[in-house]
């Protein structure tokens, strides 16, 4: 792959490296740069971070934390059961089992390299392999359990550096008429929303349908349907079948690819323009914070997301701007944000009358959060977002 760099987001930490110490020594930082591949139009990080630095027993993200996500997974599992009547399902990146536990009456198997998470699902009776997904593991599971009717993977394939191996191994473990469902952030939405915080250590790739289609050319997989989702700030749910599988190929794929091409997803100049917009976004967000700070108002962060780590570190927004973050995830509380060292506390302790502004780290849950924080809004509290452009809501 011939990647050409179009974006430099500066020195960045490991987004999952929530710190127990406010002034850590030797914090790992690397230069986050993003590139474009002419042949496949694939957008990826210029330099990949060793997986073990990111996906280990300290992994903080819990998929079941959000009500929106719990509901979405329940709905999806009901639909899949109705439509495909699977007898077996494998999830790659099963996290804390929020999706797989909806399939307790069929063979449901997880793959989750983060040991703390695999422990949770093994405990509730979902057989979980705590290993990285690759060809060897696919063969091991085939030997021990067999082939699968459905392979599901949300926000995981975009993390796997050897993409071709990952997809080949999925095709390997699927039944003849099996389907693979991939869910990952959409490059189209990232471009439209200037949500450059989709780029961080874990997101080795941000996919378009156009690029996925090119990558599977030599693999026994074919896209037969695509759904647009609101999750994670705009994602695609892409359904694949085997080339001779019996599912009908929808004409919505051509439509989606046309939409992507209209936005110039397959042209390098689009990314140079995107890069300019990102520089502007940084300037405008910093200005906004400075104006609010000059008025001596208190700003906190709402949701210490992985995504926000890219924004804070790129825009150099630290404790001088954001007093603390609130986050519902217990194992983020009491820690400090990576790179910028802002304390993270329980919302119960931090969402009080002294707060004037809350920067939406979890902008992807804007609706859920604004519904929940009516009291804050009613007394004049305001939210700040950087998506699609920095502003007060």
CB of 188 to ligand TYD, least distance (A): 19
Residue 92: phi, psi to the nearest 5?
Answer: -100, 115
If the CB atoms of residues 234 and 303 are measured against ligand TYD, the closer one turns out to be 303
Footprint (CB under 6 A) of ligand TYD, residues 114-143: none
Binding window for ligand TYD (CB under 6 A); candidates: 48-56, 74-82, 88-96, 325-333: 325-333
- In the complex with ligand TYD, the residue whose CB is nearer, 36 or 365, is 365
User: Which of residues 368, 370, 382, 388 is near ligand TYD by CB under 6 A?
Assistant: 368
Q: Does 305 bind ligand TYD (CB under 6 A)?
A: yes
Q: Over the chain, what HEC string results?
A: CCEEEEEEEEEEECCCCCECCCCCCCCCEEEEEEEEECCCCCEEECCCCCHHHHCCCCCCCCHHHCHHHHHHHHHHHHHHHHHHCCCEEEEECCCCCCCHHHHCCCEEEEECCCHHHHHHHHHCCCEEECCCCCHHHHHHHHHHCCCEEEEEEECCHHHCCCHHHHHHHHHHHEEEEEEEEEEEEEHHHHHHHCCHHHCCCCCCEEECHHHHHHHHHHCCCEEEEEEEECHHHCEEEEEEECCCCCCCCCCHHHHHHHHHHHCCCCCHHHHHHHHHHHHHHHHHHHHHHHHHHHCCCCEEEECCCHHHHHHHHHHCCCCCCCCCEECCCCCCCCCECCCCCCEEECHHHHCCCCCCEEEECCHHHHHHHHHHCHHHHHCCCEEEECCCCCEEC
Nearer to ligand TYD (CB atom), residue 252 or residue 328: 328
CB of 190 to ligand TYD, least distance (A): 13
Which residue in 159, 193, 282, 307 binds ligand TYD (CB under 6 A)?
A: 307
Stretch 50-89 residues interacting with ligand TYD (CB under 6 A): 61, 65-66
Contact with ligand TYD (CB under 6 A): which of 327, 337, 355, 387?
A: 327
Q: Is 183 in the site for ligand TYD (CB under 6 A)?
A: no
Q: How far is the CB of 22 from ligand TYD (least distance, A)?
A: 20
Q: Is residue 260 a contact point for ligand TYD (CB under 6 A)?
A: no
Which member of 34, 170, 278, 369 binds ligand TYD (CB under 6 A)?
A: 369
Candidate list 303, 338, 339, 390; residue touching ligand TYD; CB under 6 A: 303
Instruction: Pick the piece of the chain touching ligand TYD (CB under 6 A) from 215-223, 352-360, 367-375, 384-392.
Output: 367-375
Contact between 333 and ligand TYD by CB under 6 A: the answer reads: no
CB of 70 to ligand TYD, least distance (A): 11
Rounded distance between C-alpha atoms, residue 110 and residue 119, angstroms:
11
Minimum distance between the CB of residue 233 and ligand TYD, rounded to whole angstroms?
8
Question: Which of 328, 346, 370, 377 is the binder for ligand TYD (CB under 6 A)?
Answer: 328
Backbone angles phi, psi at 259, to 5 degrees: -60, -40
Q: Which of 12, 186, 211, 329 binds ligand TYD (CB under 6 A)?
A: 329
Name every residue whose Cβ is closer than 8 Å to that of residue 143 and which is 6 or more positions away in sequence: none
Q: Which stretch binds ligand TYD (CB under 6 A): 37-45, 158-166, 358-366, 378-386?
A: 358-366
Q: Are 77 and 99 in contact (CB under 8 A)?
A: yes
Nearer to ligand TYD, 6 or 325 (CB): 325
Of the residues 88, 130, 156, 364, which one makes contact with ligand TYD according to CB under 6 A: 364
**For ligand TYD, which is the closer residue by CB, 205 or 365?**
365
Which residues here bind ligand TYD, judged by CB under 6 A?
Answer: 61, 65-66, 303-307, 327-329, 332, 362, 364-365, 368-369, 372
């Amino acid at each position: 792959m011939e990647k050409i760099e179009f974006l430099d987001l500066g020195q960045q930490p490991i987004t999952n490296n929530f710190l127990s110490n406010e002034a850590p020594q030797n914090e790992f930082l690397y230069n986050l740069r993003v590139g474009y591949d002419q042949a496949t139009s694939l957008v990826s990080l210029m330099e990949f971070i060793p997986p073990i630095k990111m996906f280990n027993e300290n992994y903080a993200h819990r998929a079941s934390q959000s009500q929106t996500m719990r509901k979405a997974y329940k709905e999806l599992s009901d639909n899949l059961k109705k439509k495909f009547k699977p007898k077996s399902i494998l999830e790659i990146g099963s996290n804390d089992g929020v999706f797989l536990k909806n399939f307790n009456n069929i063979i449901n198997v997880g793959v989750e390299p983060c040991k703390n998470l695999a422990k949770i699902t093994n405990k509730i009776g979902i057989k979980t392999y705590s290993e990285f997904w690759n060809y060897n593991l696919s063969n091991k599971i085939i030997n021990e359990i067999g082939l699968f009717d459905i392979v599901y993977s949300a926000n995981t394939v975009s993390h796997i550096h050897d993409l071709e191996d990952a997809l080949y191994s999925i095709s390997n473990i699927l039944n003849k008429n099996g389907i693979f469902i991939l869910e990952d952030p959409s490059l189209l939405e990232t471009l439209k929303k200037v949500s450059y915080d989709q780029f961080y250590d874990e997101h080795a790739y941000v996919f378009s349908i156009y690029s996925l289609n090119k990558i599977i050319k030599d693999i026994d997989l074919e896209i037969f349907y695509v759904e647009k989702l609101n999750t994670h700030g705009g994602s695609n749910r892409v359904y694949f079948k085997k080339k001779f599988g019996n599912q009908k190929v929808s004409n919505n794929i051509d439509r989606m690819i046309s939409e992507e091409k209209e936005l110039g997803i397959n042209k390098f100049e689009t990314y140079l323009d995107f890069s300019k917009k990102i520089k502007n976004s940084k300037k405008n967000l910093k200005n906004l914070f400075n104006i609010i700070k000059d008025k001596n108002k208190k700003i906190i962060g709402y949701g210490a997301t992985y995504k926000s780590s890219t924004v804070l570190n790129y825009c150099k927004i630290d404790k001088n701007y954001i007093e603390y973050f609130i986050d519902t995830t217990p194992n983020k509380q009491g820690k400090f944000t990576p790179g910028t060292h802002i304390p993270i506390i329980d919302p119960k302790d931090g969402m009080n009358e002294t707060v004037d502004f809350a920067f939406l780290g979890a902008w992807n849950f804007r609706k859920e959060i604004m519904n929940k924080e009516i009291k804050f809004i009613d007394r004049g509290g305001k939210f700040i977002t950087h998506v699609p452009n920095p502003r007060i809501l």
